DNA sequence: ACAATTTCTGCAAAGGTTTGCAGCATCGGA
DNA sequence: TCCGATGCTGCAAACCTTTGCAGAAATTGT
């Protein structure tokens, strides 16, 4: 049904090898032969059969992307970046949703490994040992997860947390809560670390709550605990949680930002749609997706091979101040004097 | 590097054909031979090479999904359904984002067609003729788009619109605006049609605005036009637009739902997170994604082959009433008396 | 015990491409 | 005019699996 390399060869009056070369190593052919072949190919609508090619080259031309949860808008964003870049490099992208389940995640990686040239794993939930072991059989790139010996694209979550703390401190807050995300999340650790060190340096009190599911529902749950903790500001693991907090506080008629300030992470589109709009730490998600693909396609692989380079490579994040943060209420401030 | 069928054959003391059969037609083998082969395979960590298999069977074991815009949460939702179902049937899914561009969309479909057994196209923006023509070369399933001769999964957008109108009419609204989405969108036509016919039947005035981009920004733009149109209720093409309207109305200190009621479509997660939460028509997106894959995997293909069946098959939608709708303000009602 | 079935297994071809090696033509130089 | 070098092109093997066909083994009936 589909034109093969032989059909093109015959049409152009050359051998199949020549047709093959016209596509994969065009400069080996004399200009006019190449023309002729390409013309014939176009006329017949020929496109190389990827399976046959893959069989012999051992490469598939595919890359895989695994995300913990497609319904968190953060991941479609990196997916979008990855997908766009992949297309430029003539890669197709496989997608899988691990449903926040480390076991399923590992299973998916193994299954995918066979049919792709590499897989980018977003916010991996699997264990470090599992990841290390799988990295031996397949080309892996981690995104927002650091595992020794595995190349990674990182975002400066800790730095973002520091900016958030600075912002809240400048507003006059003294006591804040951090709403933890999944404990297997590298981002969560980084965010907490950044928060803790900066708070300590500035003499702020911080209370650790959670872990909560990294979802809107998680935020609903977290809101009441935050209130009970008598803090004037809340740093949520991500925007989804922050929005949950906003919503629940609204229901309990606690005013944001008058009574309590709320900060999120990720800057998902929703963050600017909420009322009040959400102060949050923006993550370069699409860019990270693109970079991850670049690593796989070998474009920038070498710098990232060594772990140290990766660490240094953390992509910058930046606080976006919107309407969910303000100075703490007077009453509270007085009490703490 | 990877174990081949020959290695397993040797290890199990059988021929490669037998190993092949152990996987693809297990009941052709004597139980003990099968055991022996499977054991050897497991021991060697053998997994069939999909490229080689595809080369001979002509099937890839992959399906493609094309969406117009990953950042609209509606699509990750159907993607999630499709992906989950695909995994059950041992299919891998390719993803591509067409960026709301009909030309790119067509290009992507053609490129994908070669390496998949079928592709589901969400809310296709391409022309009917293009789609028909491509359906000849590849297995296509449309989602929320009706093109004669191409199997489709449809959601009852028109019915949803009717429910929305009934709801608004019951609240006492007399004059409402419809904010159009992309004119190439089948859903947009269906929604408008449902809206128009029911409004006419109930004697409501409706003003047609747009088309607007199906995004939050589109909604910002639409809000001012709606206000100028002096309507008491607004039906937006989708939730993103509705949220944009909500936001912009807030900025202009028009109160929702007191001054104006707003209804969206899709019931994306954001819809219940906004303040006020959004009354909207829920679409069975994950289910549709699953169904689309079922059609491709042949599970339910036959019923859908004929266009009529498809039309009858429209998945039910249902209005979710939240806080963005209420009776119109007195003043307006008086004016219209 | 033997023939006729039935059940299981192996042989070999096929599927479309890439690529090392060798052959041919072409060209420049002597 | 001929030789060597150079630049293109073709041959054929290889990649790994599936599958039609035929042969071997096991089973049944007589």
Q: pLDDT digit string (tens) for B10-51?
A: 999 999 999 999 999 888 888 888 899 999 999 998 989 999
Separation in Å, CA of A236 to nearest CA in chain B: 16
Q: A79 or B297: whose pLDDT is higher?
A: A79
pLDDT of residue B334 exceeding 50, the answer is: no
pLDDT of residue B299 exceeding 80, the answer is: no
When mean pLDDT is compared across A143-152, A205-214, A217-226, the lowest value belongs to A143-152
Q: A274 or A241: whose pLDDT is higher?
A: A241
pLDDT band at B335 (very low <50, low <70, confident <90, very high): very low
- Phi, psi (degrees; rounded to nearest 5) at B203: 75, 30
Residue given tokens 């899709």 in the structure block: B266
pLDDT of residue B105 exceeding 80, the answer is: yes
**Token pair for A292:** 């991850």
pLDDT of residue A334 exceeding 50, the answer is: no
| Cβ contact A289:A77 at 8 Å | yes
pLDDT of residue A305 exceeding 80, the answer is: no
Evaluate if the CB of A57 falls below 7 Å from strand D: no
Residue given tokens 């949520």 in the structure block: A236
Evaluate if the CB of A20 falls below 7 Å from strand C: yes
Maximum mean pLDDT: which of A70-74, A136-140, B328-332: A70-74
B56/C14 CA-to-C1' distance in Å? 8
When mean pLDDT is compared across A125-129, A186-190, B86-90, the lowest value belongs to B86-90
Whole-number average pLDDT of chain A: 91
Strands (E), chain A: 62-67, 92-97, 118-122, 140-143, 152-153, 175-179, 205-209, 233-236, 261-266, 279-282, 318-320
Q: Look at residue B298 in the predicted model and tell me its pLDDT.
A: 76
**CB nearest to B76's CB, from A50, A70, A92:** A70
CB atoms inside a 10 Å sphere around CB A83 = 25
Separation in Å, CA of A60 to nearest CA in chain B: 8
Please enumerate, as own/partner, the contacts of A294-298 that have beta carbons within 8 Å and a separation of 24 or more.
Answer: A294/A85, A295/A141, A295/A151, A295/A153, A296/A63, A296/A91, A296/A117, A296/A118, A296/A120, A296/A139, A296/A141, A297/A63, A297/A86, A297/A89, A297/A91
Evaluate if the CB of A132 falls below 7 Å from strand D: no
Give the residue on B whose Cα is nearest the Cα of A113: B47
CB within 8 Å: A51 and B49 = no
Percent of chain B with pLDDT over 70: 93
Residues 6+ apart with CB under 8 A from A178: A191, A192, A195, A206, A207, A208, A209, A210, A234, A235, A237
At what angle are helices A216-228 and A239-251 packed, to 10 degrees? 60
Percent of chain A with pLDDT over 90: 77
pLDDT of residue A23 exceeding 70, the answer is: yes
Using CB atoms within 10 Å of the CB of residue B334, give its burial: 0 to 12 exposed, 13 to 18 middle, 19+ buried: exposed
Cα separation of B234 and B282, whole Å? 17
Q: Look at residue A300 in the predicted model and tell me its pLDDT.
A: 58
pLDDT of residue A333 exceeding 70, the answer is: no
* Nucleotides in chain D with any atom closer than 7 Å to protein CB: 7-12, 14-20
Q: Look at residue B4 in the predicted model and tell me its pLDDT.
A: 92
Nucleotide nearest to A31 (CA to C1'): D8
Mean pLDDT of A33-54: 91
When mean pLDDT is compared across A16-30, B88-102, B231-245, B298-312, the lowest value belongs to B298-312
Q: Look at residue B2 in the predicted model and tell me its pLDDT.
A: 80
A10/C22 CA-to-C1' distance in Å? 22
Cα separation of B124 and B253, whole Å? 37
Give the residue on A whose Cα is nearest the Cα of B3: A114
CB within 8 Å: A247 and B92 = no
**Token pair for A106:** 């590992």
A29/C26 CA-to-C1' distance in Å? 15
**Token pair for B104:** 């790119």
Give the residue on B whose Cα is nearest the Cα of A64: B94
A31/C28 CA-to-C1' distance in Å? 21
When mean pLDDT is compared across A147-151, B154-158, B217-221, B240-244, the lowest value belongs to A147-151
Condensed to tens digits (0 to 9), the pLDDT of residues B175-232 reads 999 999 999 999 999 999 999 999 999 999 999 998 999 999 999 999 999 999 999 9
**CB nearest to A52's CB, from B55, B62, B84:** B55
Cα separation of A95 and B324, whole Å? 36
Closest C-alpha to B114, from A90, A63, A114, A48: A48
pLDDT band at A309 (very low <50, low <70, confident <90, very high): low
* Contact residues, chain B, for A84 at CB < 8 Å: 97
Separation in Å, CA of A2 to nearest CA in chain B: 9
pLDDT of residue B337 exceeding 50, the answer is: no
pTM: 0.89
* Contact residues, chain B, for A104 at CB < 8 Å: none
Evaluate if the CB of A28 falls below 7 Å from strand D: yes
Percent of chain A with pLDDT over 70: 93
Q: Before A276, cis peptide (omega within 30)?
A: yes
CB within 8 Å: A55 and B52 = yes
Evaluate if the CB of A24 falls below 7 Å from strand C: yes
Evaluate if the CB of A39 falls below 7 Å from strand D: no
| Cβ contact B307:A282 at 8 Å | no
Closest C-alpha to B279, from B249, B332, B234: B234
Q: Look at residue B30 in the predicted model and tell me its pLDDT.
A: 87
pLDDT of residue B304 exceeding 80, the answer is: no
Condensed to tens digits (0 to 9), the pLDDT of residues A46-55 reads 989 999 999 9
pLDDT of residue A310 exceeding 80, the answer is: no
pLDDT of residue A298 exceeding 80, the answer is: no
Mean pLDDT of A173-179: 97
Please enumerate, as own/partner, the contacts of A3-6 that have beta carbons within 8 Å and a separation of 24 or more.
Answer: A3/A41, A3/A44, A3/A45, A3/A46, A4/A46, A4/A49, A5/A46, A5/A48
Separation in Å, CA of A54 to nearest CA in chain B: 6
A56/D16 CA-to-C1' distance in Å? 9
């Amino acid at each position: 049904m589909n034109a093969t390399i032989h059909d093109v060869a015959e049409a152009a009056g050359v051998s199949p090898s020549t047709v093959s070369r016209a596509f994969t190593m065009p400069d080996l052919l004399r200009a006019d032969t190449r023309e002729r072949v390409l013309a014939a190919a176009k006329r017949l609508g020929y496109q190389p059969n990827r399976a046959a090619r893959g069989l012999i080259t051992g490469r598939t031309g595919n890359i895989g992307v695994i995300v913990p949860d497609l319904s968190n808008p953060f991941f479609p964003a990196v997916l979008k970046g990855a997908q766009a870049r992949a297309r430029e490099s003539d890669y197709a992208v496989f997608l899988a949703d691990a449903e926040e389940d480390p076991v399923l995640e590992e299973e998916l990686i193994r299954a995918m490994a066979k049919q792709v040239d590499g897989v980018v794993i977003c916010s991996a939930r699997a264990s470090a040992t599992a990841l290390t072991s799988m990295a031996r059989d397949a080309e892996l790139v981690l995104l927002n997860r650091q595992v020794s010996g595995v190349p990674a694209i990182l975002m400066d979550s800790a730095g973002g947390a520091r900016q958030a703390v600075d912002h809240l401190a400048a507003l006059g807050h003294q006591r804040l809560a951090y709403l933890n995300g999944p404990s297997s999340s590298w981002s969560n650790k980084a965010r907490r670390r950044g928060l803790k060190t900066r708070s300590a340096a500035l003499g702020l009190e911080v209370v650790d709550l959670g872990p909560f599911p990294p979802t809107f529902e998680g935020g609903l749950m977290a809101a009441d605990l935050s209130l009970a903790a008598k803090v004037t500001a809340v740093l949520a693991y991500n925007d989804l949680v922050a929005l949950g907090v906003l919503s629940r506080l609204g229901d309990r008629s606690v005013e944001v930002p008058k009574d309590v300030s709320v900060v999120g992470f990720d800057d998902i589109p929703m963050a600017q749609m909420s009322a009040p709009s959400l102060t949050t730490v923006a993550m370069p998600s699409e860019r990270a997706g693109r970079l991850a693909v670049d690593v796989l396609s070998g474009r920038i692989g070498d710098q990232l091979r060594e772990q140290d380079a990766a660490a240094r490579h953390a992509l910058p994040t930046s606080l976006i101040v919107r309407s969910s943060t303000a100075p703490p209420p007077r009453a509270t401030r007085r009490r703490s004097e």
